[in-house]
């Protein structure tokens, strides 16, 4: 139906659409502790029904061809636009992120934009050989049913990153959202399912048993997973018996290197958002910053001046751009790492002392200077609003420290000299290296990790290929 005919637009409409019919559990606002709504608790039996229904629906969905699926995805993006404010409010209440800044409204808008981008890409057969000896073409066919397991930090955006290319390629999708943020994904799917054909997209909101069954299911042809490296390894093991295809976007702990020629004031705001977007709860956020000794103090000072201006609080307050940690477990990890860094002699430049008498999992934006590279705040992915800043003397030393961990999702180099930055970037062990920015993604540009940050590519035409089965036709 046209977006103007969409019946799910308001916050109240969306909550009604995802209201549980059976077992449920409460979802609380991480900023206030108040009840957002009850979320359904689906079972393995529910998952089995979803997979069977998705498999039955897949041939007719694939039969629409690229033009038909493109039209359906564009209409689905229109439906997101029509429900944008209601979706953003639900996302803010459930995940905690503010409405403004690069947060809830940004995420919902990005979901619609990514759908349109996935719909727009052309994937023509590749001519491999065409000579007197014959012709060979490389085609990509639908896989079948794709299982998608998502995280709690960007629940709507990452769901779209998974489902958009999967559907575009003619697969049907069964999604398992994080137990922390099921309402956001259920509501997003309800909006999409107003315009998609029946049964091509399912959401099963269950516990670990549902995720484990999905990963091992013999009728699921591929798993897409965004989350921790440990869980990714478990999915690899679970998928082995069915030789299931995988796309895994795992842990990051991204490094940034500031070269000695950089302008501290010019880069300070970019550094801040590179590290603190979504209050630091982003896989490809900058988690450790290496700064040359010649400009170290100036960078720390400039970064602190920017961080002081960023208001933190309840997401529905239009003034805030930083929110709480999404859950108590993550709050405790950040607090413990910062406390341990302080105890080890590191200097807390800003933050580090959360208010104890306020509701919600608020941890202040925290900058930690004069810290050793082997400190746990540096070596572990903190996934929150605490940035360690490490001093270095030579570029070789910085590159060695940046590459010293077993993960490599993203990295960045900051410099006034593009050629110098590019030279350092080529030495970084990461799937993406940004210059004078960090964490910016584009639906046209492939994205994936190195080392134990996962494998497989998302986004762009290459991302579509990873949701298809390659087939060579030779004649």
- Active-site residue list: 249
Q: Which residues contact 1 (CB under 8 A, 6 or more apart)?
A: 75, 194, 195
Cβ atoms of 75 and 295 within 8 Å: the answer is no
Other CB atoms closer than 10 Å to residue 454's CB: what's the count? 27
Give burial (CB, 10 Å; 0-12/13-18/19+) of 54: buried
Distance CA 101, CA 321 (A): 5
């Amino acid at each position: 139906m046209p977006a103007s005919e969409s019946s799910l637009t308001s916050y109240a409409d969306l909550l009604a659409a995802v209201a549980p019919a059976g077992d449920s559990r409460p979802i609380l606002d991480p900023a206030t502790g108040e009840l957002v709504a009850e979320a359904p608790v689906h079972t393995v039996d529910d998952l089995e029904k979803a997979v069977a229904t998705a498999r039955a629906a897949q041939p007719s969905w694939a039969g629409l061809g690229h033009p038909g699926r493109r039209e359906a995805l564009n209409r689905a993006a229109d439906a997101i636009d029509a429900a944008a404010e209601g979706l953003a409010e639900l996302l803010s209440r459930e995940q905690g992120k503010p409405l403004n800044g690069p947060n809830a409204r940004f995420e919902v808008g990005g979901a619609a934009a990514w759908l349109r981008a996935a719909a727009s890409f052309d994937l023509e057969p590749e001519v491999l050989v065409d000579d007197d000896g014959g012709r060979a073409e490389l085609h990509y066919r639908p896989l079948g049913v794709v299982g998608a397991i998502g995280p709690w930090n960007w629940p709507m955006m990452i769901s779209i990153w998974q489902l958009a290319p999967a559907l575009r390629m003619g697969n049907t999708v069964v999604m398992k959202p994080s137990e922390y943020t099921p309402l956001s994904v259920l509501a997003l799917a309800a909006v999409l399912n107003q315009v998609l054909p029946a049964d091509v997209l399912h959401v099963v909101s269950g516990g670990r048993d549902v995720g484990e069954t999905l990963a091992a299911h013999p009728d699921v042809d591929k798993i897409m997973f965004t989350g921790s490296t440990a869980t990714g390894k478990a999915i690899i093991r679970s998928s082995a018996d069915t030789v299931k295809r995988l796309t895994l976007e795992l842990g990051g702990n991204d490094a940034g290197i500031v070269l000695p020629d950089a302008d501290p004031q010019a880069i300070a705001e970019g550094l801040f958002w590179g590290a603190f977007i979504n209050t630091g709860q982003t896989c490809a956020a900058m988690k450790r910053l290496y700064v040359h000794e010649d400009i170290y103090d100036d960078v720390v000072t400039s970064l602190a001046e920017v961080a002081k201006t960023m208001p933190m609080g309840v997401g529905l307050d239009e003034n805030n751009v930083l929110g709480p940690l999404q859950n108590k477990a993550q709050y405790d990890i950040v607090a413990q790492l910062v406390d341990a860094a302080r105890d080890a002699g590191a200097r807390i430049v800003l933050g580090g002392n959360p208010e104890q008498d306020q509701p919600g999992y608020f941890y202040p934006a925290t900058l930690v200077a004069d810290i050793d590279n082997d400190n746990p705040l540096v070596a572990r992915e903190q996934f929150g609003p605490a940035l360690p800043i490490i001093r270095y003397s030579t570029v070789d030393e910085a590159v060695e420290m940046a590459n010293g961990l077993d993960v490599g999702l993203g990295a960045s180099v900051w410099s006034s000299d593009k050629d110098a930055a590019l030279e350092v970037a080529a030495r970084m062990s990461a799937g993406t290296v940004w210059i004078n920015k960090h964490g910016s993604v584009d639906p046209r540009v492939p994205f994936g990790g190195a080392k134990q940050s996962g494998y497989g590519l998302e986004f762009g035409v290459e991302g579509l290929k990873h949701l298809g089965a390659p087939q060579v036709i030779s004649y």
